[in-house]
């Protein structure tokens, strides 16, 4: 057994009335000049927050852009610095949290996050931004939120397609953490529980889209999966999604859903015991097949070709992936990465054994 246990986590309040803790939490952090960031879907929640915090709010941003482009964020950061903002509150999906993190990073201020999707960014110290169409990411513990408020009813409005793809995005974090080097056994427990809870919640949601207990389960699962992302190293799946997202601006969560079964197939013979645990949770013969079956059962995205990705771009993307540092059970093998991308593009069940 060999592991490093050095986990970090925000303070988390998970409750039906989590937002009622907001003022206290802001006071405890010591914030008195707030920039409130929300995406379009969270505008009415942000209005309620603004009323509650009243004279603490100094700056509001109610529109965000996926992958946090610098030309969008620069004026927002400049204004925050001018106003002497000392805390950022971000409410919305991963893109809102992402802008919150860049404000935390640039202004050196604490972040309080109120997520509304299953992306899990609120549990990680990883920031992302786009400069000249190149997506950059980094890790800085100053961007890990000080506090996260999970209020399940904020996810009730998530449309079906965002729910299921965002759920598969969360599962991808936990699956890749399982074959991360020197994984803490506690993070592994969170990953296994996260996959189990997400799979069960997603299946329940597919049966009954109004199922509020499934929503609660999924939000809890997304917290666990986000925690595993923040406390392990991601492998080829995240490398591919990062590259395709940056190069072709593919939608984040559906792209994760489409790539995951094939990235797992690529690793299956190289991380056998860990991926057997995933297969066991999903009730399938192999993890890759179990993930494909889950995503098709719940109506998540299963093929990159449906996202306007073109097979003609595979070689180019493979070259870019090959130029990056890869921490993964199976080393980079050009022909098999091409095979992986072709399979993810077509979306057929990963039954072929010649990997």
Q: Is residue 267 involved in binding ligand NAD (CB under 6 A)?
A: no
109, 162, 337, 343: residue in contact with ligand NAD (rule CB under 6 A): 162
Q: Is residue 99 involved in binding ligand NAD (CB under 6 A)?
A: no
Shorter beta-carbon distance to ligand NAD: residue 39 or 188:
39
| Least Å from the CB of residue 84 to ligand NAD | 26
Shorter beta-carbon distance to ligand NAD: residue 184 or 289:
184
Q: Is residue 130 involved in binding ligand NAD (CB under 6 A)?
A: no
Q: Could you tell me which of 87, 80, 82 has the C-alpha nearest to residue 49?
A: 87
CA angle, residues 95, 159, 348, in degrees to nearest 5: 90
| Least Å from the CB of residue 139 to ligand NAD | 9
Helix or strand or coil: residue 330? coil
C-alpha to C-alpha distance for 355 and 353, rounded to whole angstroms: 6
User: Which string of x and - marks every residue 208-237 that binds ligand NAD (by CB under 6 A)?
Assistant: ---------------------x--------
Determine phi and psi for 180, rounding to 5 degrees: -75, 140
10, 31, 120, 235: residue in contact with ligand NAD (rule CB under 6 A): 120
User: Which string of x and - marks every residue 318-337 that binds ligand NAD (by CB under 6 A)?
Assistant: --------------------
Q: Where are the beta strands (DSSP E) in the chain?
A: 11-14, 34-38, 57-61, 87-92, 111-115, 126-131, 134-139, 147-150
Shorter beta-carbon distance to ligand NAD: residue 40 or 70:
40
Shorter beta-carbon distance to ligand NAD: residue 136 or 276:
136
Which residue's structure tokens are 């050095």? Answer: 6
Q: Could you tell me which of 98, 96, 219, 130 has the C-alpha nearest to residue 166?
A: 219
What is the β-pairing status of strands 126-131 and 134-139? Answer: antiparallel
| Least Å from the CB of residue 292 to ligand NAD | 20
121, 267, 274, 286: residue in contact with ligand NAD (rule CB under 6 A): 121
Helix or strand or coil: residue 192? helix
CB 232 within 8 A of CB 239: no
Q: Is residue 274 involved in binding ligand NAD (CB under 6 A)?
A: no
Shorter beta-carbon distance to ligand NAD: residue 56 or 170:
170
Residue 124 neighbours by CB under 8 Å, 6+ apart: 144, 226, 229, 230
Measured over all CA atoms, what is the biggest interatomic distance in the chain, rounded to whole angstroms?
Answer: 63
10, 111, 117, 288: residue in contact with ligand NAD (rule CB under 6 A): 117
Q: Which residues would be at the binding site for ligand NAD (CB under 6 A)?
A: 39-41, 66-67, 92-96, 98, 116-117, 119-121, 124, 126, 128, 154-155, 157-158, 162, 166, 169, 229, 252-253
């Amino acid at each position: 057994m060999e592991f490093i246990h050095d986990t970090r986590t925000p303070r988390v309040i998970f409750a039906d009335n989590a937002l009622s803790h907001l003022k206290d939490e802001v006071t405890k952090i010591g914030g008195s000049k707030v920039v409130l960031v929300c995406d379009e879907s969270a505008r009415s929640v942000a209005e309620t927050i603004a009323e509650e915090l009243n004279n603490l709010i100094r700056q509001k941003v109610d529109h965000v852009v996926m992958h946090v482009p610098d030309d969008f964020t620069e004026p927002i950061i400049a204004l925050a610095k001018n106003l002497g903002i000392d805390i950022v509150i971000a409410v919305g999906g991963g893109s809102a949290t992402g802008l919150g993190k860049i404000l935390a990073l640039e202004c050196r201020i604490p972040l309080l996050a109120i997520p509304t999707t299953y992306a899990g960014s609120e549990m990680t110290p990883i920031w992302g931004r786009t400069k000249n169409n190149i997506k950059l990411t980094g890790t800085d513990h100053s961007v890990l939120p000080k506090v996260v408020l999970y209020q399940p009813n904020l996810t009730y409005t998530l449309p079906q397609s965002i729910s299921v793809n965002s759920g598969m995005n969360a599962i991808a974090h936990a699956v890749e953490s399982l074959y991360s080097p020197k994984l803490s056994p506690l993070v592994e427990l969170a990953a296994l529980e996260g996959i189990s809870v997400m799979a069960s919640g997603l299946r329940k949601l597919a049966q009954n889209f109004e199922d509020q207990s499934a929503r609660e389960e999924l939000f809890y699962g997304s917290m666990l999966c986000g925690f595993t992302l923040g406390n392990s190293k991601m492998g080829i799946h995240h490398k591919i999604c990062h590259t395709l997202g940056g190069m072709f601006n593919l939608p984040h969560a559906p792209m994760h859903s489409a790539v995951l079964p094939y990235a797992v197939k690529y690793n299956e013979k190289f991380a056998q015991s860990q991926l057997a645990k995933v297969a066991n949770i999903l009730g399938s013969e192999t993890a890759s097949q179990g993930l494909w079956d889950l995503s098709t059962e719940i109506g998540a995205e299963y093929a990159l070709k449906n996202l306007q990705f073109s097979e003609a771009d595979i070689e180019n993307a493979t070259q870019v992936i090959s130029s990056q540092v890869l921490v993964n059970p199976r080393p980079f093998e050009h022909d098999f990465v091409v095979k992986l991308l072709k399979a993810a593009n077509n979306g057929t069940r990963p039954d072929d054994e010649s990997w």
